[in-house]
Amino acid sequence: MSNIRALIIDDEPDIRELLEITLSRMNMAVDSAADIAEATAFLEKVNYNICLTDMKLPDGNGIDLVRYIQRHHPELPVAVITAHGNMDTAIEAMKAGAFDFVNKPIELSALRKLVGTAITSSQLPSSSESSSRIVGQSAQIATLKKSILKLARSQAPIYISGESGSGKELVAKSIHELGPRGPHPFVAVNCGAIPKELMESEFFGHKKGSFTGASTDKQGLFQAAEGGTLFLDEVADLPMEMQVKLLRAIQEKAVRPIGAQAEFATNVRILSATHKDLENLVNKGEFRQDLFYRLNVIQITTPPLRERTEDIPELIGFLLERIANDHQLNAPKVTSAALKALTHYQYPGNIRELENILERAFTLCENDQITDQDLQLDERSTSSNTIKPTRIGGHLQACQTHASIDDYLSDIEKEIICEILEQVRWNKTLAAKKLGISFRSLRYRLAKLGLDDSD
């Protein structure tokens, strides 16, 4: 850090001296100012890598300085020093563009971690091709990519809204990878998939012997994500008692494992997402308002696929290449009729549904060419609520909204194939002929459904 320069703004000489000593020991060149006027004079003359400012200053407040830096030095990360427990002020500062915040009394270990992350952020390139994780060239996607690049530099909590299957986790991964925490862990958790009684242990960990069955120490999700990003998917599914504990962990930047005597500091960035209307849940009293404000410091929305149909051809090519590579085969071509059908489909399941359609078509197609018949779109409803009921073996089955369309369709496929295989006594060549597909397609499906005996 020999070429790193830092600017400190605080009207208390003791605090300035403490910060100067701490940063100087990190081999940084340090300038200090007692007010905003002196700070702006420094900023006009020197290019800094990080700025630390107190909230209360003689000629204004730290948020005023944050806004000034956002206008004139947008690449400079600025962290605010707030009074302990004054989370509302910290949130206001981050909404204004602050990189992060640190509480008084200042813990030097936490300060060093913050400064290290900020320095890494200041040295990131102004643009990056890593955002190409998000496929598409539409206006909505161009705006989304621009937002990702900007938000990746900040440490503010981000709430990602959008319909199921629209790519919320992909957006979260892009924010993580493009930011200073990119080399560190990205830990994603589906909050609705954790049993209620195990939730605290999963998030915060536990000590050996802390409860029946705790035979060893367990690392929690916050520990697993240390230095990186914790992505809370379907955060709306958190039970109310867990919302209280998560709120404290975010505010205090510390957690206590079950059975532990003391808390330990954490250094993670929180990203969250849900397909539900979280604000509506707050209004109905089903989600804590204070936690919502902590998570929703900055909001970003993933557009549904039906609103960016111009991206569908590019997505088709990308997804087919990935499916083909997974199976070490060549990607099939898509006929113009199939492309037209895919472009006009409504996709209640968004990109996830498109991928499912293409994977099924990949197994059905002949001569490495996907036709509109291979897509089987006429069997799918364009409604987001139900799938058209289908008769199999004399039984009526229907896929409701709470079920996975992938699981539903896989069950249908498995039942049909098993029925035909039993009829022909597992003669795969004959079964493929009766199903009207190639032997290669049948072997692929058997492997995918876990029915391949590899004989």
pLDDT value for 408: 67
On whether the CB atoms of residues 314 and 141 are closer than 8 A, the answer is no
On whether the CB atoms of residues 188 and 225 are closer than 8 A, the answer is no
Domains defined for the chain, CATH in brackets: 5-122 (3.40.50.2300), 137-303 (3.40.50.300), 306-384 (1.10.8.60)
pLDDT value for 22: 93
Contacts of 296 (CB under 8 A, 6+ apart): 157, 159, 278
Which of 176, 183, 16 is CA-nearest to residue 106?
16
Which of 202, 319, 303 is CA-nearest to residue 249?
202
pLDDT value for 382: 40
Contacts of 395 (CB under 8 A, 6+ apart): none
Q: What is the rounded radius of gyration, in angstroms, for the C-alpha atoms of the chain?
A: 27
pTM for this prediction = 0.77
Q: What is the DSSP string of 364-398?
A: H-BTTEE-HHHHTGGGS-S-SS----EEETTEEE-
3-state secondary structure (DSSP) of residue 46: coil
pLDDT value for 126: 62
On whether the CB atoms of residues 69 and 43 are closer than 8 A, the answer is yes
Instruction: Burial-class residue 264 by CB neighbours within 10 Å (0-12, 13-18, 19+).
Output: middle
- Please state whether the peptide bond connecting residue 105 to the residue before it is cis, i.e. omega within 30 degrees of 0: yes
Instruction: Burial-class residue 14 by CB neighbours within 10 Å (0-12, 13-18, 19+).
Output: exposed
On whether the CB atoms of residues 335 and 372 are closer than 8 A, the answer is yes
| Interatomic CA distance for residues 393 and 416, integer angstroms | 8
Sign of the CA dihedral with 129 first, then 161, 70, and 80 last: negative
Which of 275, 277, 448, 270 is CA-nearest to residue 352?
275
For the chain, the straight-line distance linking the first and the last C-alpha, in angstroms and rounded, comes to 61
Residue 396's DSSP bridge partners are 391
pLDDT value for 2: 57
pLDDT along the chain (455 residues), means of 10: 86 93 94 95 94 93 93 92 80 91 86 90 66 84 92 92 94 94 95 90 90 86 96 95 94 90 92 94 94 94 94 95 89 94 92 93 90 77 38 40 58 81 79 78 77 60
| Interatomic CA distance for residues 450 and 448, integer angstroms | 6
Can you read off the two tokens belonging to residue 202?
Answer: 């999963």
3-state secondary structure (DSSP) of residue 265: strand
| Interatomic CA distance for residues 432 and 444, integer angstroms | 11
Can you read off the two tokens belonging to residue 135?
Answer: 């496929």
pLDDT value for 127: 55
pLDDT value for 396: 38
Distance of alpha carbon 316 from the chain centroid: 23
| Interatomic CA distance for residues 6 and 8, integer angstroms | 7
pLDDT value for 71: 93
| Interatomic CA distance for residues 209 and 207, integer angstroms | 6
